[in-house]
């Protein structure tokens, strides 16, 4: 599905950091802190957070407050997360989904 200008509302940063500390501001108070990796431009989203969903799964959410992206990811080892990304909208648009594979990498110091 071609999203045109709406694509920026569902596109997360290409590299992120997940922190083991609870969010303290805005949308991040719903979970733990997610940030773009050092040197990576932030996305349009006003908030991002992650939540544990089980012993080997997490959910990561990016939101503008109206629309965004949610990823449900599971780990089979310490280096790879696999799962699905799903869009959400504040208007009647069909949900889009995509497969996701995330690899653990060491982040550079800011």
In a domain, 110, yes or no: no
Q: Is residue 99 part of a domain?
A: yes
Evaluate if pTM is beyond 0.85. Answer: yes
* Domain contains 3: no
Domain interval for residue 28? 14-103
Q: Quick check: is 7 in a domain? A: no
In angstroms, the CA 96 to CA 110 distance is: 34
The predicted-structure confidence for 24-60, as pLDDT tens digits, reads as follows: 999 999 999 999 999 999 998 989 999 999 989 999 9
Q: Which helix (H) or strand (E) holds 69?
A: strand 68-77
Helix (H, G, I), strand (E, B) or coil at 2: coil
Which token pair is 88? 């959400």
Counting the structural domains of the chain, the total is 1
Residue 2 is assigned to a structural domain of this protein:
no
In this model, does residue 2 exceed pLDDT 70? no
Q: Is residue 8 part of a domain?
A: no
Is residue 24 situated within a structural domain?
yes
């Amino acid at each position: 599905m071609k999203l045109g200008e709406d694509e920026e509302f569902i596109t997360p940063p290409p590299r992120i950091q997940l922190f083991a500390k609870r969010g303290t501001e805005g949308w991040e108070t719903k979970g733990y802190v997610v940030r773009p990796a050092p040197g990576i431009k932030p996305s349009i989203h006003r908030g991002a957070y992650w939540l544990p969903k089980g012993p080997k799964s997490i959910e990561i959410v990016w939101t503008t407050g109206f629309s965004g992206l949610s990823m449900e990811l599971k780990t089979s080892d310490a280096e790879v997360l696999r799962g699905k990304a799903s869009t959400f909208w504040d208007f009647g648009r069909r949900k889009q989904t995509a497969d996701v594979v995330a690899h653990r990498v060491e982040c550079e110091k800011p």
